[in-house]
Amino acid sequence: MAAVILVGAQWGDEGKGKVTDYLAEKADVVIRYQGGSNAGHTVMVGQEEFKLHLVPSGILYPGKLCIIGNGVVVDPSILVKELDNLTSRGVDISGLRISNRAQLILPYHKSLDAAEEEHRGEAQIGTTKRGIGPAYVDKTARTGIRVSDLLDWDEFKKKLTQNVANTNERLTKLYGQQGCDLDAILTEYEGYAERLKPFVADTVRLVNKYIKDGKKILFEGAQGTLLDLDQGTYPFVTSSYPTAGGACIGTGVGPTKIDKVIGVAKAYTTRVGAGPFPTEVLDDVGDTLRQQGMEFGTTTGRPRRCGWFDTVIMRHAAEVNGLTGIALTKLDVLTGIDTLSICTAYRYKGEIINDFPADLKIFKECEPVYEEVPGWKEDISNAKSFEDLPENCRNYVKRLEELVGVPAQIIAVGPRRDQTIVVEKPF
Ligand code: IMP
């Protein structure tokens, strides 16, 4: 048995696509468990770049079963485009399965997302406007429409008619926006139903059978721990559970079946959207990280906010996910910076605090306490083992491990598949 959860340990965009892609080669099944097309995973195969939003990165290896789990909110318009794009580039998509329990994103979710953001004014979350929040609201309000409803057209029509009537009331009366056109949605979604029908399955049964058969399962998280609805920087979070517990809920697999949890973390920190970020660097070093790390959102193209590695949030991530290892990404981006800062604790009203605070008002006022370490100038992009890294670079990684209390088992030194150092194999 080998079931490994891969979670984002920071604010998302940690380079999970690359690590998932690397591990997917060894896995039999890759399963997405939460989020939706707000995620964007970039994977390099040779010189070719693939940007995936919904389909698990494992699709790029022939013969893998790739599941969109029940915890995902599926925008069929984006999924169909993604499938067309993959097919036109010669990728075999026959291994894809979509959970019949997954929720659907509908056009009114996107309209609501935009209208609600505008309405928040100063308190904007900076959402991706992909309809994620409103779709999860419908799910918990028990008015959501599931993938299984696409297979029962009368049921779909009934639910949609009710939802469009309710949502149009809100869109027009509360937000002064145009309502959605029921017939247009029906026509559009009838096409998606036909297109996606062959991929729909009871993925709960499927994944548990594979586990029983001793297959290797990789749970692919999207976003990150600090964007988790409960464990993140609430309310500046997404509306799902990117943390390891979310993998069980979002796939229908019990926690006793999980062997390892790998937290993906960048060798520095980035964040998109609004919300506090204590180690954010607004000077030249911030620009260097953004340019060298190509820190622009895969989904929205927004420039990412950049800063130093924060071990306070990483200790929180280690705890709430039960991390057994770290996959440290983009270490090569730090090459050439003379002195690196590592945040070891926060200072709040003159007091040192070591733990990530729940209260956002406190978090906003936390100042980072830094330890400075020397950087390295040598090119590390061809390093094949930990020993190949220059001494200062090894010391930097060891210090992060020490402060977080979790070993770095995978280290990425460039975007390509072969630019990956594996200290300990998760599978
Ligand atoms: P939503 O998920 O679109 O509702 O956005 C909520 C917050 O999560 C915003 O701050 C987004 O920028 C952030 N967010 C959502 N998806 C991602 C992601 O894949 N990477 C990084 N940030 C994300």
Q: Please write the tens of the pLDDT for every residue from 366-384.
A: 999 999 999 999 999 999 9
Structure confidence at residue 37 (pLDDT):
95
Q: Which residues contact 305 (CB under 8 A, 6 or more apart)?
A: 270, 271, 272, 277, 280, 286
Contact, 126 vs 227, CB < 8 A? no
Which residues form ligand 1's pocket by a CB distance below 6 Å? Answer: 11-13, 38-40, 125-128, 130, 132-133, 222-223, 227, 236, 238-239, 272-273
pLDDT value at 299 more than 80:
no
Q: Last residue of some domain: 199, 234, 253?
A: 199
Residue 357 has a CB neighbour count (10 Å cut-off) of: 17
Instruction: Give yes or no: residues 270 and 396 share one domain.
Output: yes
What beta strand segments (E) does 162-245 contain? Answer: 200-201, 216-220
Average pLDDT (238-257) is 98
pLDDT value at 267 more than 90:
yes
- Ligand 1 test: best mutation among 227, 239, 305, most atoms within 8 Å of CB? 227
Structure confidence at residue 43 (pLDDT):
82
Q: Looking at residue 78, which CATH number applies to its domain?
A: 3.90.170.10
Position 96 in a domain = no
Residue entry with tokens 């998302």:
12
Q: Last residue of some domain: 148, 181, 199?
A: 199
Instruction: Give yes or no: residues 254 and 392 share one domain.
Output: yes
Structure confidence at residue 1 (pLDDT):
59
pLDDT value at 178 more than 90:
yes
Structure confidence at residue 17 (pLDDT):
86
Structure confidence at residue 340 (pLDDT):
98
Residue 230 has a CB neighbour count (10 Å cut-off) of: 12
* The total number of structural domains that make up the chain: 2
Exposure string for 284-318, b = 16+ CB within 10 A, e = fewer: ebbebbbebbebebebbeeebbbbbbbbbbbbbbb
Q: Last residue of some domain: 149, 168, 199?
A: 199
Cα separation, 246 vs 252, in Å, equals 10
Average pLDDT (165-172) is 97
pLDDT value at 317 more than 90:
yes
The whole domain housing 296 covers 2-90+202-422
CA separation, residue 408 to residues 51, 399, 424 (Å):
26, 11, 8
**Active-site pick, 21, 28, 41, 113:** 41
Question: Among candidates 424, 340, 334, which has minimal Cα distance to 385?
Answer: 424
**pLDDT digit string (tens) for 51-102?**
899 999 889 999 999 999 999 999 999 999 999 999 999 999 999 999 999 9
Q: In whole numbers, what is the pLDDT of the chain averaged over residues?
A: 96
Percentage of the chain exceeding pLDDT 90: 91
Whether 109 is catalytic: no
**pLDDT digit string (tens) for 6-29?**
999 999 999 998 899 889 999 999
Instruction: Give yes or no: residues 303 and 345 share one domain.
Output: yes
Instruction: Give yes or no: residues 123 and 235 share one domain.
Output: no
pLDDT value at 249 more than 80:
yes
Instruction: Give yes or no: residues 182 and 243 share one domain.
Output: no
Average pLDDT (283-296) is 94
Helix, strand, coil percent values for the chain (each to nearest 5): 40, 20, 40
Whether 228 is catalytic: no
- Ligand 1 test: best mutation among 272, 296, 299, most atoms within 8 Å of CB? 272
Average pLDDT (191-199) is 98
Instruction: Give yes or no: residues 347 and 256 share one domain.
Output: yes
Instruction: Give yes or no: residues 129 and 12 share one domain.
Output: no
DSSP for 48-69 reads EEEEESSS-GGGGSTT-EEEE-
